[in-house]
Every structure is written in C-alpha cells, then in structure tokens.
Amino acid sequence: MTAIHGNTAGLSPKANQALARLYRRRVPLEQIATLELMRSLVDASRETKRQVGVLVHRSGSVESVIVGSATGLMLPDVGRLRAATGRFRALRLIHTHLFGEPLTQDDLTDLTRLRLDLVAAVLLNPEGEAKALTWAYNVPPKPGSDQASAPYEIGGPVPYGAKAPHFGQLIEALEAEFAGLMRTRQVVAKDGRAILVHVGEKRRGSPSAARASLQELASLAETAGVEVVDSVLQLRDRVDPKYVFGRGKLEEVVMRAIELDVQTLIFDRDLTPAQAAAIAQRTDLKVIDRSQLILDIFAQRAETRDGRLQVELAQLKYTLPRLGQKDDALSRLTGGIGGRGPGETKLEIGRRRARERVARLEKELAQLGRQRTERRRARASSETPVVAIVGYTNAGKSTLMNTITGASVLAEDKLFATLDTRARRLRLPSGREIVLTDTVGFIRDMPKDLFAAFRATFEEAADADLLLEVVDLSDPEHAAHVRTTQQLLEGLGLDELPRIRVYNKLDKLTISEDDPEPEASVLPEAAMWPEAAAQVSGQGDQGVCLDVAARPHRLPEALTEPGVLGISALDKSTTRALLTAIEARLDAALRARRLAEEARGAPEPWEAPRPIDAENVRAAHQSDGERVTTR
C-alpha cells in the first residue's frame, strides 16, 4: 500500500517519490523512531515544505504516510475510538515540525482521542535539519488527582540521535496500568458512563435555571441506566450552529471523556440531525439529546401493548429525519430517463419501511383508542365518578394511589417510573365508590412526537370528574413544575376541569434555623387537614425537619394558596382529609354539571303572543308577489 494521505495538491514528482519511499522504512519495537526514518521524514518535508508524518504499527511497518500544511496535518480515519478495553491503537505517529515548535494541542488531542500508542515530533532548525525529538503518551489518571490533570505525559525534547526510552517496554507498562484500572473500576450502571452537557444562551436563561435543568437531566440519565461521571455547563452569547459549543470546548470535553472512560455525551437540548452527526464524527462518542433520552426511558418502562406501540411510534418519528438527507439523484421511483436500474437505494428502502411502520402503528393505536373510549363510556354509564391523578413526573402520583387504594402499582424515586395508565376503585369515607386513575407524568420540553403518541393516554383524564394535581413540594423547582403542568393541561384542553392541587412530600421539607423569617407562612389551626398537619419537631443535619404527624406551625407559602392540600403520600394518616376534600369537591362538581345540563335542556322562556296586524301581513306577502285575503 503506497497511498499518500492528506494535502497532496501541487506536489512535484520528486516530492511524491520521497513520500513513497517512507513505506520502505521499518522501526524495531524498542525504538520510538530510527535515525533513517527521521532523515527520510526531514527530506520529504524539505521537498514538500509541509509537515510529513507516518503511522507506524508495533510490528514495525509503516501503515500510512500523511502530508499536511506547514503548521499541522490531518490524520486519516483509523477506525473506532478504542480497539479494546485498556488497550491502545497499536499505532504511533511520527511527524515533523518545520519551525521547531513543541507538540501542539492538535497533536495531544489526536493522541488521547484516537488512543494512539505515542505521538512524536522531529523538530527542525531554521536550516531545515533535524535538531531534536519530543514525544507524548497517554497515562492513566492518578488516584485523587485534580479533575483538570492532563491525561498524557510529554517527554523530551532530546537532541537528535540521543537515546530515547524503550518504546516496547513503555507501552507494555502503560497498557498494564490501564487494564488494571479498568478491572478495579466499579460498574454502577448497565448502560455505561456519560457526561452531561448543558449549553444555553445568556439572554434566555440564568445559571440557577441551567443548574436545575442539569439536575433533572441527571435524574433522567439515572432512570435510563447511565452513570453520570461529570457535567459541563456553558452559557454563550449564541449557540454554535454546528457543534453547539465551540471547537475548543468540544476538544476539552473529548479529552475529559477519554480520561474518565466515558462512552456517551448527553445534551440537555434537542439536537438537529446535522448537529448530532457533526459532534459524533468529531468526538467518536455516542451523542444523545434530551428527547432521545426520554424516548429510551419510555422504551424501557412501557409494559402494556398501548405503551409499547406509542413509544415505538414516537421513536420512528424521531428517527425518520435522521436517516440521512434526501437525495433526489439517487431516486429510482419516478421512472423515465434515469429511473431505470437497480430500484430503490438502501436509504430509500429504510425510509419507506419506516413510513409504512408508522402508518401501521397509527392504525393500531387508533383501534386501541376506540377500545379505550368504549371502556370510558362503560364507566360513564355506571355513573361512578372518575378522579384522575396528574402532575409532574416523580411527584409521587403512584405512591399516593398505592397508599389510598391499597394497590401495588410500581412506585420508585425515579422519573417516569410508570408509564401505563392504571385504574383502581376507591371507597370514600361516606361509602361512595369512585374510580381513581394514575396517568403518565409530565415533564418540561416533552418531545412533541412523544406527546402526540401519548396524547390518547393523557386524554384518559378528559372524562374525569375531578383532577388531583400532585406537586413535589420538596423540589426547589416545584413552581416551574406547576407551570409546566398547567401548560400541558391547557394543550390537552383539560385546564377547565375541577382540580385539587395536592402538595406532596412534606416529610422531606427542611426549614433552616439560620433564617429567622424563612419563606413560609404561619397557618391557622388545621388549615390543611384536621388530624394530621406539620410542625417543627426535630433537628437534622441540614436544619429543622417537618414531621407530618402533629399540629400545624410554619409551612411553605405555597400551602397558603386557597383550596390546596399538603400531604405525605407515604403516611396514610395525612391523606384522610384528602379523601374528604375529594368527596366535597366531587359533590360540588357533579352538582354544577347537573345544573348546567338542566339549563341546556330547559325550553325557552314563555312569552305572550303578540296580536297580528292584518295590514302588515298583507303588505309583506304582496311584496313577495302573493295574493293575501283576510276574513
């Protein structure tokens, strides 16, 4: 193989011959580079007036010859990021630096990103002769080292011809260290390790909001089965249209990923197909955006046929634009001139099959939707009131259902622990029975394809007589969660239904003693619930804990809103007043509905008939050409 890679435009025949001769050189395992190879590289650089490099295999043969510019060179594709766990690429790069400069950032990035054995530079003097040799190699992170420590070590420069380290022994020792590190690293997630990335514009968000968004992304990643080892937050004047953030920051993230043995970058935003492809190509890492992460969680958690079909439909709609850009030149579907030949391209076949599958899934979901409608109609005909639990994900909706109905719905401290709608019968204190349904949780910036696919599931709440909006009061972002829930309910047309807002997880609240006037209000006796309220009862490491077991004292200001309740879904004693409130609100809602139906069905108010004026009648009919007679 004698192909010359890189910037070969304008090379003279003599320069091409000098480059081709580099393939004849052999380098023994004990040497970084032989004097003969370095002389040949210098001669080729003198002829081309450009940097010249070679990729040398451990066997000693030259695998590739690369020509660059006067200040750098671009390596050819050498395959995957890692050949094996704890192993290097078995290739070392040896190239020239025309101006005697040390190893550049590009050299070090290629070393770490491509997992090369070593990168060496032959430094030239102003006369174009070799004067020194410098090199760098990857090193494992030191225990307890600073996060900014470099994942490489630089050797030299040493004078040209001076003795350098034994290459084979150096690489063998380094690979043994990396392999040992991989064996001792604890695996805590089934889907590998990831770095979270949040890039936003300064004019559209604050640092505190960005940190809260990153925290939610970390919870999503944990639910998906990914170990989060680091996060990157950057607020820019403008998001880069190609790489989201700048190339320099991207290279920093890549080097950090290599140091931490990370396989995935998770972005806290939706990436365009072009952005995802550009970042993946630049980093050799798996790139996932927020929508893809949520879709993956839904795919793992869906249990019923409805749920699985809805998730598959959303994933197909997300994937279709990412199958590649449309190329009419490859089309074989139009017929005529240029339309004869092998038929559809592979890309077109993939797209067509995806579209056919989308149409089939939409048809099946429509049929399942009709079945759900029939079930809801049957419930309505039984005149059993329906109460739907709605709210932000991980607010405690399933836990609340389990507590007050005795059900065994899966409830975990994770986002989207349950996806499928559940319905259970519940007997209220008066003896009346109701149907309680648990719907899938909401989340900010829910993928539009996913929202469309699950719209039918969300609409289970459309026939409810009452909504229970559950809010996690212990979450610092609970106010934003309330706004998100309100927006999604408005999008579903459910914002006009009667609703009780229930603030959950009071047992996790803390009030710091450092602030004599915390953001809370003194509540009147039994304002939220008669038997179980909250009072300041104990000291904790982070402040005074609220114990939901006694009398009210001082609670967050949200609980002073009219018509809200505060509970701990894990403590059944705090839910008794909730059942009473449900019954009272249901009575009011059903009474208002009956009055509205009676008003719609009542006849128009009676009015006494007015006397008929014969002259006016005759004039009106004669104007239409009719003859009218009166008695």
Domains, the chain, in order of start with CATH, read 4-184 (no CATH), 193-288 (3.40.50.11060), 384-592 (3.40.50.300)
Rounded to the nearest angstrom, the gap between the alpha carbon of residue 112 and the centroid of all alpha carbons in its chain is 26
**157: cis peptide before it, omega within 30°?**
yes
State how far the Cα of 255 lies from the Cα of 239, in Å rounded to an integer: 21
Phi, psi of 438 (to 5 degrees): -115, 120
Enclosing H/E stretch for 550: strand 543-550
According to the model, what pLDDT value does residue 134 have?
94
Q: What is the mean pLDDT of each run of 10 residues along the chain (631 residues)?
A: 83 90 92 92 91 92 91 77 63 92 88 87 90 91 60 88 89 84 59 85 80 88 86 87 85 80 86 87 84 83 75 81 53 41 59 82 80 68 80 85 76 60 82 83 76 64 83 86 86 83 81 43 34 32 34 54 78 83 84 76 54 51 46 36
How many of the other CB atoms lie within 10 Å of CB of 19? 26
Phi, psi of 369 (to 5 degrees): -65, -40
- Could you write out the DSSP letters of every residue in 45-90? HHHHTS-EEEEEETTSBEEEEEE--SS---PPP--SS-SSTT---S
SS3 breakdown of the chain: % helix, strand, coil, rounded to 5? Answer: 40, 20, 40
According to the model, what pLDDT value does residue 346 have?
63
State how far the Cα of 331 lies from the Cα of 313, in Å rounded to an integer: 26
Q: Which residues contact 536 (CB under 8 A, 6 or more apart)?
A: 511, 544, 546, 553, 554
Cα torsion 477, 478, 483, 484 to 10°: value is 80
Phi, psi of 36 (to 5 degrees): -65, -45
Identity of residue 167: F
Q: Are 44 and 15 in contact (CB under 8 A)?
A: yes
Q: Is 481 exposed, middle or buried (0-12, 13-18, 19+ CB in 10 A)?
A: buried
State how far the Cα of 32 lies from the Cα of 577, in Å rounded to an integer: 78
According to the model, what pLDDT value does residue 185 have?
58
Summarised one tens digit per residue, pLDDT across range 187-216 is 555 567 889 999 888 887 778 888 888 888
**Which residue is associated with the tokens 């910037």?**
7
State how far the Cα of 362 lies from the Cα of 309, in Å rounded to an integer: 9
Laid out side by side, the sheet with 4-6 consists of: 4-6, 62-67, 52-57, 91-97, 118-124, 130-138, 152-159
- Could you write out the DSSP letters of every residue in 442-480? B-TT--HHHHHHTHHHHGGGGG-SEEEEEEETTSTTHHH
Cα three-residue angle 177-181-186, rounded to 5 degrees = 175
**Three-state DSSP string of 38-51:** HHHHHHHHHHHCCC
Cα torsion 485, 486, 492, 497 to 10°: value is 110
Q: Are 165 and 32 in contact (CB under 8 A)?
A: yes
Cα torsion 169, 172, 177, 180 to 10°: value is -140
Q: Are 131 and 124 in contact (CB under 8 A)?
A: yes
Summarised one tens digit per residue, pLDDT across range 415-432 is 665 666 777 888 888 888
